[in-house]
Amino acid sequence: MAPSPVAPPVMWGNYGYRSNCAMDWRLPPAPYFSSVESNPSGGRHHTELRYGWSSGSENHKRESNQQSDGIDCRGGGAMKRYRPLVFFGLAVMLGLVTSFLVFSWMQNEKSRLLAAPLPMSKNVQVVVSNADIAWGTKLTQEMVLLQEVPPGAIPEGHFTTLDAVKDRVLLVDLKRSEMLLESKLAPLGTTGGGVAAVTDVNKRAMSVKVDDVIGVAGFIKPADRVDVMVTIEPMPGKPERAVSKTILENVKVLAAGTQMERKGKDEEPVQVQVITVEVDVEEAEKLALASTQGRLRLALRNPRNSEKVLTKGAQVGSLLNSYRPKPASNGEGGFRVEIIKGDVRKEVRF
């Protein structure tokens, strides 16, 4: 059996090339060159070069003639069928290679970041106290110094230069190496220290004469909180009409005597004759009247208790009537006595 003839060669035209095995008969007309070999009379063999225009119908006819001549044109059709699979395989391979390269790069970057040392944060210099300083003190440069601290441990309102706190007045006590903050200092423009500097801008500082009894035996110290009570005789010469009443509550002590700081241990009493408290204008009027018309007493408060209680006061009559004996249970009052006679015991109630 003779082998199938091979498809004819590609024919070239003015604008490109066109295969003689074109499968689509609807191709647009195109110029082409072709060669025809002939031997009309058994004489000399010669080749004729032809030029013309091919149309869709001619392509179809040529395809039919080629198929009828036994020319095998199936190679081009098979290639077209498998072309999408080839492209898909190439895309998958390219995606796998790209994923591998990206994964390798990310692993290298992760290893590099883990191996690199963490950047050290630079410490910041802030102003701290050089010793224990009492409130109301006017600061000098000898009382403070610069100290380096981590930036994450710096609160708002700190100072970074010594000149920024010069001549400022403290509102609270400072311990050694404690950081200075704006909230711990009196407002700018406060020229002097002492009680005036630490008194609230809307309040007044007022002194009260005390003794060992009035001043809670010397246990009242600066920064404590006290209640002020007064005992008055509305009608002189009639002590039975005396009244005792709490007139001020939760009052801040600014100074005890001439001291504005808590010296020594808190359990050690300090004997003073005057205590200065912080009050508003209305409270100052009450305190002035009570100190001249009656006898004052101070009651020391727990610093965690800021509750105010409205009371009716106490009078002599209500004081005596406040005691009531406890009623006997079940109507039986008095006491009982056990009497023993020989081997006989008897209980008697009186």
* Confidence band of 228 (pLDDT split at 50, 70, 90): very high
Judged against a pLDDT cut of 70, whether residue 262 lies above it is answered with no
Provide the residue ranges of all domains of the chain, joining segments of one domain with +. 11-72, 124-196, 203-321
Q: What is the pLDDT of residues 181-225, one digit of tens each?
A: 998 888 887 766 678 778 888 899 998 888 777 777 778 888 889
Q: What is the pLDDT of residues 106-134, one digit of tens each?
A: 988 888 877 766 666 688 899 999 999 88
- For residue 96, the surrounding DSSP H or E stretch is helix 74-115
Phi/psi at 341 (5° precision): -125, 105
pLDDT value of position 79: 63
Q: What is the pLDDT of residues 151-187, one digit of tens each?
A: 887 888 899 999 999 888 888 888 999 999 998 888 8
Helix (H, G, I), strand (E, B) or coil at 58: helix
State the average pLDDT for the chain.
Answer: 75
pLDDT value of position 225: 92
Most confident range (mean pLDDT) of 4-13, 22-31, 164-173 is: 164-173
Most confident range (mean pLDDT) of 110-114, 168-172, 254-258, 297-301 is: 297-301
209 close to 290: Cβ distance less than 8 angstroms? no
pLDDT value of position 333: 56
Is the full-model pTM beyond 0.95? no
* Confidence band of 71 (pLDDT split at 50, 70, 90): very low
Closest CA to 282 of 171, 206, 198: 206
More confident residue, 87 or 284: 284
Q: What is the pLDDT of residues 35-44, one digit of tens each?
A: 555 555 555 5
pLDDT value of position 349: 75
Judged against a pLDDT cut of 70, whether residue 12 lies above it is answered with no
How far is the C-alpha of 160 from the C-alpha of 148, rounded, in Å? 10
Closest CA to 136 of 257, 276, 261: 261
Classify strands 274-279 and 17-18 as parallel, antiparallel or unpaired. Answer: unpaired
Residue showing tokens 């008055």: 232
Residue 253, classified by CB atoms within 10 Å of its CB into exposed (0-12), middle (13-18) or buried (19+), is: buried
How far is the C-alpha of 155 from the C-alpha of 117, rounded, in Å? 28
124-196: which CATH architecture?
Answer: Alpha-Beta Complex (3.90)
Average pLDDT over residues 230-254: 86
Type of residue found at 330: N
Partners of residue 274 on adjacent β-strands: 209
pLDDT value of position 40: 54
Judged against a pLDDT cut of 50, whether residue 291 lies above it is answered with yes
* Confidence band of 98 (pLDDT split at 50, 70, 90): very high
Residue showing tokens 């002020």: 228
Of all residues in the chain, the percent with pLDDT exceeding 90 is: 19
How far is the C-alpha of 326 from the C-alpha of 275, rounded, in Å? 42
Average pLDDT over residues 266-274: 66
Closest CA to 247 of 228, 274, 226: 228
Helix (H, G, I), strand (E, B) or coil at 75: helix
Type of residue found at 101: L
Q: Tell me the CA distances in angstroms from 229 to 102, 159, 213, 250, 313, one per residue in order.
A: 82, 43, 13, 12, 10
What would you measure as the largest C-alpha separation in the chain, in angstroms?
Answer: 179
* Confidence band of 66 (pLDDT split at 50, 70, 90): very low
Tokens of 54: 């091919």
Tokens of 79: 């290639």
Closest CA to 126 of 91, 95, 155, 104: 155
More confident residue, 88 or 190: 88
Judged against a pLDDT cut of 80, whether residue 285 lies above it is answered with yes
Judged against a pLDDT cut of 60, whether residue 45 lies above it is answered with no
Closest CA to 225 of 253, 203, 261: 253
Q: What is the pLDDT of residues 74-86, one digit of tens each?
A: 445 566 777 888 8
Long-range contacts of 189-194 (CB under 8 A, 24+ apart): 191/167, 192/138, 193/136, 193/137, 193/138, 193/169, 194/136, 194/260
pLDDT value of position 69: 46
Of all residues in the chain, the percent with pLDDT exceeding 70 is: 66
Residue showing tokens 């009828």: 68
How far is the C-alpha of 149 from the C-alpha of 218, rounded, in Å? 41
